Every structure is written in structure tokens, then in C-alpha cells.
Amino acid sequence: MTEQSIIGVQFSPVGKIYHFSVPEGLSVEKGSFVLVNTARGRQLGKVLIPSVQNPHNTDEIQPIERVATQEDLELKEKNAEKEKLALEKAREHLKDPRYSAVKAFAAEYSYDGNRLTFFLNYEPDAGFDIRTFLREISRSFRDVRLEVRQVGPRDMAKALSGLGACGIEKRCCSKFLTEFSSISIKMAKSQDISLTPTEITGMCGRLRCCLNYEYETYEEARKNLPKRKKIIQTPLGEGKVIQVLPMSDSVIVELPENGPRLFTLEELQTGKLAEKIVAAEESAPEVVETKGDVEMLSYGGKPTSESSRPHRDSGNRQVSRDRGGDRRGSQLGSRQNPENSNKAPQQKGNTKPQQGTNTGTEAPEQAGQNFPHRKKRRR
């Protein structure tokens, strides 16, 4: 048996791939359908891998019967319609209160239509009696052999699809995972993932399959690093490992005198501290041009001499504020007292407030001279 005679066949979308051998003289292309014998009877499967490299247990691989014809494909479509009707009848029967904990997942006819398999989801402690269910539902299917197979919550979540717990558009199991791997809480601990149930469980209520994606990478990186709570020797003395960072090949060590310090694997092996690259300090902004109250700044430009760099008088801002306050006070007083509108404006640079403006330090009577409509408050 040559390597080219082994193919990979899939019986459902994103389902497990099974290996079959191809008889000599028969050519099979990717995407074509073949008729094979399985534990559930004769089935039509789709060729997903036209040539399997280095297959395992070649002695247990069964050969395909033949390549599917157009009549076989038409029969497959008819069986699909019959499966929908059978699933509706099963769900209608499961509405009985006795089967409240049982859900009908799918129904599947064999190629020749002689066997009908129901896939049901239920907990082991639900008290579901399979024999009673088959005896009752067999009244609606007298011409076929009935079987029941239990499926877990992962298979249910895979069939229903939808958003993943992480927000991915389509769940991994419905998108590309053809088989479910064994997931343990140890995988989450190895990757320093929070053990909060909402963080590590998927939509199926089981541990997320993605915990297995990077588990081997983390385990390989941890082999060369000291374990947590271990006393080790560092370039700065003896200390205790308080945290392991596998992805950066480093650990954080608590030193008696220096406190927690970060050491790389290379520093621990050589016993010398690596040279740290000091980031360049950001240059202070330079004043390039000043127009009124607007300053134009330059970052990282060429250094200029102190004489060529424009200076701004520190008192200009205070003068500008006083000038603006005087102008606003004079305008307000002119609106209240028309006689003040003919007065000349205050000279520039004079910070002394005009008479009639309230500076907050004058007596109430004096401050209210420009506001004749206001009544003097009685003391």
C-alpha cells in the first residue's frame, strides 16, 4: 500500500477526518464524494485530503467502496429532507415533561435509508431511559432501525455556532477545529491566566479549547527558567523567585537589599548584568517665534544660542491681563454712565485701574459710583 492510496474523508462540515484507502486503478479528487462502510452503516463522505502523508495504523484503514455517482448525490439530498422531518418529530415527542432535560441535536439516515440515528444531549443524572424513548418513538418510524447517541455540550455549541466567549465572530469549534482536545486547569495555570470561571470557560460551559493553543510553547519556555519560590543566585546576590515570565525568558527575583529585580535567563547563566540601553532624553521645546500671545515652539531642533533665542517679558502677560480688565471695566462703566464714554482711553502700560472701576479693594460706596441704579446697602 503506497502513501498515495490513503485519503482523508469528512462526513460533516468541520467534522472529524477519517482515513480510507483507495483501491488500485481508482482515482479520487479533492472535493469529490465517495461511498464507504462505517460503524453507522454505509455513508457518503467528502474527500478533504486526496493524499495523506505518513498515515498511522495502515492495517486498520478500510478501503472505500466506490466514487459516488449523480444518483448517489440525489439520494443524499432526499435523505437530508427526511432527516429534517425526523428531527421535528423527535423534538415534538421530547416536549413531554418526562424529557424536559433532553434535547434533540440531530438526526441522520444511513445511505440506504435502513438506519436512523438520533443525536441527543442530556446529562447522565437526568434519569433519561433510552429504551422507553425508542419504544415510544418507534411508532412513527416502523420501517427503519432506530439508534440513539449521546452528544456533549461541546458538540451542541459547535452545531449552533455563533459568537465565541472572547468575542470572535465565529467559534473556533465551528470554524476550524475538527476534533476536541482534552483541556485541563493546568493549562491555564501554566500560562498565568486568571482562574475566574468567566475567563476560562467557553459558551459550552467547559474549559476553552484555546487554552491548548499556546500551552506547549509556554511549557517549552519554562523548562530553562527557575520555578517560582525557588532560591537562586543572581548577579546581585541570592534571592527568591517571585514571578516567572516565560515569553520574555526572564524572572523577577526578590533580593533582601535591593527588593524585586528583573533578570533575564542570560544574566542568570553568565552571572553578569547586561548593559541597559538608556533611552535618549526628549529635548525641551524651544521658542522660535512670538506673536502677541501666541508662541511657536520647536521640538528637537538645532540648538540656538541664548542671544539669538527670543525672550518673552515675564510681565507682559500680567500687563495684558490688567489692560484687558481695564478695558472691560471702562466699557461696562460707559454703558451704565454715558458721561464716561467721552473719556480718553487709558494709556498703555499703565496698570493703575481707572477711577470708577471696582478692583475689589475699594469701599462699596466708592465702587458703586459708576452704577447709580444700584442702591447702597444698609449696614
Confidence of residue 143 (pLDDT cuts 50, 70, 90): confident
pLDDT at 252 over 90: yes
d(CA 55, CA 18): 11
pLDDT band at 161, cuts 50/70/90? Answer: confident
DSSP 23: -
Q: Are 47 and 29 in contact (CB under 8 A)?
A: yes
Mapping DSSP to helix (H, G, I), strand (E, B) and coil, where does residue 207 land?
Answer: strand
Query: Regarding predicted confidence, which is higher, 105 or 328?
Result: 105
What number of residues does the chain have?
A: 379
20 vs 210: CA distance, rounded Å: 30
> What pLDDT score does 375 carry?
54
Q: Give the pLDDT confidence score for residue 298 in this predicted structure.
A: 58
Q: Is the pLDDT assigned to residue 165 strictly greater than 50? A: yes
What class is the 225-270 domain? Answer: mainly beta
**Percent of the chain at pLDDT above 90?**
43
Q: Which cell is 235 given? A: 548577579
* Tally of CB atoms within 10 A around 286: 16
Q: Grade residue 164 by pLDDT with cuts at 50, 70 and 90.
A: confident
Q: What is the largest CA-CA distance in the chain?
A: 119
Confidence (pLDDT) at 320: 46
Portions of the chain given CATH number 3.30.300.20: 75-151
SS3 track for 107-157: EEECCCCCEEEEEEECCHHHCCCHHHHHHHHCCCCCCCEEEEEECCHHHHH
Residue-wise pLDDT for 174-191, tens only, equals 999 988 999 999 999 999
Q: Please, what is the average pLDDT of the chain?
A: 79
**What separation in angstroms does the CA of 210 have from each of 13, 163, 215, 294?**
20, 14, 9, 56
Helix (H, G, I), strand (E, B) or coil at 339: helix
Q: Which residue has the cell 533611552?
A: 279
pLDDT at 299 over 60: no
Look at residue 245 and tell me whether its pLDDT is greater than 90: yes
What is the SS3 assignment for 288? strand
CATH topology of domain 75-151: GMP Synthetase; Chain A, domain 3 (3.30.300)
| Range(s) within the chain of domains with CATH label 2.30.30 | 225-270
Compare 293 and 133 and report the one with higher pLDDT: 133
Tell me if 210 sits within 8 A of 167, measured CB to CB.
no
Helices (H), 250-315: 265-270
Q: List the Cα angle 344/346/348 in 5-degree steps.
A: 130
Q: Which residue has the higher pLDDT, 361 or 136?
A: 136
Give the separation between CA 48 and CA 50, rounded to whole angstroms.
6
Phi-psi region at 31: left, alpha or beta (left = phi > 0; alpha = psi -120 to 50): left
Question: In whole angstroms, what is the distance from residue 94 CA to residue 133 CA?
Answer: 9
Maximum average pLDDT range among 176-190, 265-279, 281-295: 176-190
